[in-house]
Structure 1
């Protein structure tokens, strides 16, 4: 028997389509069952994925201590099933109060009207200063002008390299721009005996995307039109394909390279674009007396230090939360610098707030410092629900050109056509909203 009807939201959900039954001023049939109108017990559900879900229980012990009367249920989801779980939960009116969400999924959830805007709560809070967050990461949470999440974990790409082989090839530091990068690849082949210095796995879209984000301009417009034939992507694709044409990069998938760390250690490759998790992997997989051979550096750009991808996950609140004040309290707790520093210790996830880097001692780590420098130059991917499918189409086109060759102009024209087809429904919806369709 329900203890109280006042735990329901006072207004209908914008997306559920269900009518709410007005709360009675009194409930005589429930008096003996302990009807509570304004003191309903707070029960929060928090979803987190992968390693983050594993450490959430320990991370949130302090939150439970601050709110002993609240119930907090933490549910761990596998990454492979998380996206479908969110969609199913939304369709079944079973979304959690707060969740960790990949920031490329935010546009889709925003289109469904599932997420609670946070600007009002942020304005009233003093513990979540926007200026402390890396700007590019923050922008991934702003969809159609609304702040819908808080950055929680960091993912970007930079350059891991064999410092010893680069020195042998005549370079005292990592390349700073694309011409230096190409000169280093050639020198590594000719002077250091590295057959294929650069690894660009043909099944990974992130390296090419990072290169494409280094030039101003849009890959896809807000109106739903593809611009892969434009100068930004064409320049990035040209640099990418040149590495294969000159024999600097092998035309291989990740599956064809059984152990990238072993090949890196052997000197089969000298440059590898990857994310922050590989700091721990290189330290774990390479022997102690081999740790000096590798380093990390921000990505080179066409004419100097370049941009990279603003990736990672965010904390979001769902509109259907029955306890939005408590949900925000949970988000504020997870955003605290001390809690984020502890989160880094438990999970290895780099923090999205600058102040936490000092608190966690990350500025003393040379590899982590390279990521801090890169995070000052990251750009969000297009805020489109269809973006992940578009990125796969982009990489399929690049892989075909790298492996089989062909006309770049024709391939990019076909890519634009396929992406425009994927976005046809979006253009129709925008036109209807603008009143240009009946």
Structure 2
């Protein structure tokens, strides 16, 4: 059933969920792993009955989480009640859950939330040398560290890449998007010349990821003075902001936000733009919409940089045990089970979310798939955001100023000054604590 049919934005179309040919769990996970989980719980509980667990999972992973759990219950006798949360509102629900003492035993998190949840004492960290922190791709463990200590276990890895229409680029004389900024702009202009009423790319003004990807390539920190002040007036960030602004100045992307938009994939299918910067969510979305966008119509490429393929901001989810978990041993057993490489691979099969375990990436299906291989390269070159509780507020304010800049309210120089002013205001309490030696 069609829920919306505007030109731009995230998917707003309800489509039937098609089951994919997924191997049974018995073919995916080693029997030894299940025996270890069951034995560990039996020893930990001295034979006592193990209570059920509550797990809050988010987005498409939350909707499909029950498919992952039957073998865990068989091995351990532990029932898991899953509550699926939408990404919009999940952060607030976690905070209100802490305030109301109603957090679940296990939480799936956007790893960027960990500094805040650590500050309020909502999570119980894994042991410092836990085997759960081994075998991860570069940067995954750093993404869950706060003040040098891992506060959760990485679960899915992500970054932004370019999804592009093969046919639209070929018509402009390109087999794939160039990976150098100057050459990428030449390609975008060529696409625009062929179809003046259409666009080369889609950078919705409430998507901060493209701007922060360009900025991550500059090698300049986003915050300075021990993360107590903004560093957005730096030469590096100004360079990235200038490139971002140029895309809109030349009308290579529409000046619009997601709130003003509709279905991204329908617009992409209709050729309203050639390149869709996005993350691994689009893998699952496009699998489910092959009748709209057959796989031979699109491909993926790395994020362009000033001198070649560049960095992007590291993204991903993690699994954490609540500070109030009723049975911590059972909660950690569930996390160990969910982080098994075969389970991470199965998550990819179901939703498109990518693994953090290196052993999962070594599986032939992951290694030889060109889409996942491109993501693997981009993830390996991703930059972790500053581990401060205020980071999400900072991103929102910076992107808001960038939107005003695109709409003509600021030039690049004035925009960076305004960004630093707003960020410094957000970090005022952190500075006050740092001056007294009390900031984390």
Among 218, 230, 241, the alignment partner of 2:234 is 230
Structure 2: distance between partners of 1:73 and 1:262? 36
Report whether the alignment pairs 1:404 with 2:408.
Answer: yes
Q: Which residue of 1 aligns with 2:3?
A: none
For residues 92-137 of structure 1, what are the alpha-carbon distances to aligned partners after superposition, in whole Å with 9 as ceiling and x for unaligned? 3333222111111101011112222224351xx3xx363x322233
**Which sits farther off after the overlay, 102-111 or 148-157?**
148-157
Q: Go from structure 1 to structure 2 and tell me whether the alpha carbon gap of 1:360 and 1:315 turns closer, same or farther (over 3 Å shift).
A: farther
1:177-188 aligned at under 5 Å gives the runs 177-188=180-191
For residues 188-207 of structure 1, what are the alpha-carbon distances to aligned partners after superposition, in whole Å with 9 as ceiling and x for unaligned? 22356674212111121121
Structure 2: distance between partners of 1:121 and 1:328? 14
User: Secondary structure of 1:367's partner?
Assistant: helix
Among 240, 245, 248, the alignment partner of 2:249 is 245
Structure 2: distance between partners of 1:427 and 1:39? 51
Q: Is the 8 A contact 2:69 2:80 kept in 1?
A: no
Structure 1: distance between partners of 2:136 and 2:46? 36
Q: Go from structure 1 to structure 2 and tell me whether the alpha carbon gap of 1:327 and 1:255 turns closer, same or farther (over 3 Å shift).
A: closer
Counting matched residue pairs gives: 393
Q: Which residue of 2 aligns with 1:336?
A: 340
Q: Which residue of 2 aligns with 1:46?
A: 55
Q: What TM-score does the superposition give when structure 1 sets the normalisation length?
A: 0.83
How far is the alpha carbon of 1:352 from its aligned partner?
1.7
- In structure 2, the gaps of 5 or more residues are 1-44
Report whether the alignment pairs 1:299 with 2:308.
Answer: no
Q: What TM-score does the superposition give when structure 2 sets the normalisation length?
A: 0.82
Q: Is the 8 A contact 1:212 1:237 kept in 2?
A: yes
Structure 1: distance between partners of 2:94 and 2:87? 11
Report whether the alignment pairs 1:217 with 2:220.
Answer: yes
1:336-355 aligned at under 5 Å gives the runs 336-355=340-359
For residues 392-421 of structure 1, what are the alpha-carbon distances to aligned partners after superposition, in whole Å with 9 as ceiling and x for unaligned? 111111111111253322222122111111
Report whether the alignment pairs 1:393 with 2:397.
Answer: yes
Q: Is the 8 A contact 1:309 1:380 kept in 2?
A: yes
How far is the alpha carbon of 1:72 from its aligned partner?
3.5
1:115-194 aligned at under 5 Å gives the runs 115-120=123-128, 122=130, 125=131, 128=132, 130=134, 132-191=135-194
Q: Which residue of 1 aligns with 2:96?
A: 88
- In structure 1, the gaps of 5 or more residues are 1-36
Structure 2: distance between partners of 1:294 and 1:376? 23
Q: Is the 8 A contact 2:128 2:149 kept in 1?
A: no
Structure 2: distance between partners of 1:270 and 1:233? 26
1:22-61 aligned at under 5 Å gives the runs 40-43=48-51, 44-61=53-70
User: Secondary structure of 2:436's partner?
Assistant: helix
Q: Which residue of 1 aligns with 2:276?
A: 272
Q: Which residue of 1 aligns with 2:74?
A: 65
Q: Is the 8 A contact 2:281 2:351 kept in 1?
A: no
Structure 2: distance between partners of 1:337 and 1:88? 33
Structure 2: distance between partners of 1:121 and 1:65? 28
Q: Which residue of 2 aligns with 1:103?
A: 111
Structure 2: distance between partners of 1:289 and 1:322? 46
Structure 2: distance between partners of 1:263 and 1:54? 26
For residues 274-309 of structure 1, what are the alpha-carbon distances to aligned partners after superposition, in whole Å with 9 as ceiling and x for unaligned? 111213434544647854332111101111111112
Q: Is the 8 A contact 2:139 2:384 kept in 1?
A: yes
Structure 1: distance between partners of 2:197 and 2:373? 27
User: Secondary structure of 1:361's partner?
Assistant: helix
User: Secondary structure of 1:217's partner?
Assistant: coil
How far is the alpha carbon of 1:148 from its aligned partner?
0.8
How far is the alpha carbon of 1:219 from its aligned partner?
1.0
Question: How well do the aligned residues superpose, as a CA RMSD in angstroms?
Answer: 2.4
How far is the alpha carbon of 1:318 from its aligned partner?
2.3
Q: Which residue of 1 aligns with 2:8?
A: none
Report whether the alignment pairs 1:281 with 2:285.
Answer: yes
Q: Go from structure 1 to structure 2 and tell me whether the alpha carbon gap of 1:391 and 1:51 turns closer, same or farther (over 3 Å shift).
A: same
Q: Is the 8 A contact 2:133 2:141 kept in 1?
A: no
User: Secondary structure of 1:430's partner?
Assistant: helix
**Which sits farther off after the overlay, 37-46 or 407-416?**
37-46
Report whether the alignment pairs 1:75 with 2:118.
Answer: no
Structure 2: distance between partners of 1:250 and 1:54? 32
Q: Which residue of 1 aligns with 2:6?
A: none
User: Secondary structure of 1:355's partner?
Assistant: helix
User: Secondary structure of 1:74's partner?
Assistant: strand
**Which sits farther off after the overlay, 42-51 or 391-400?**
42-51
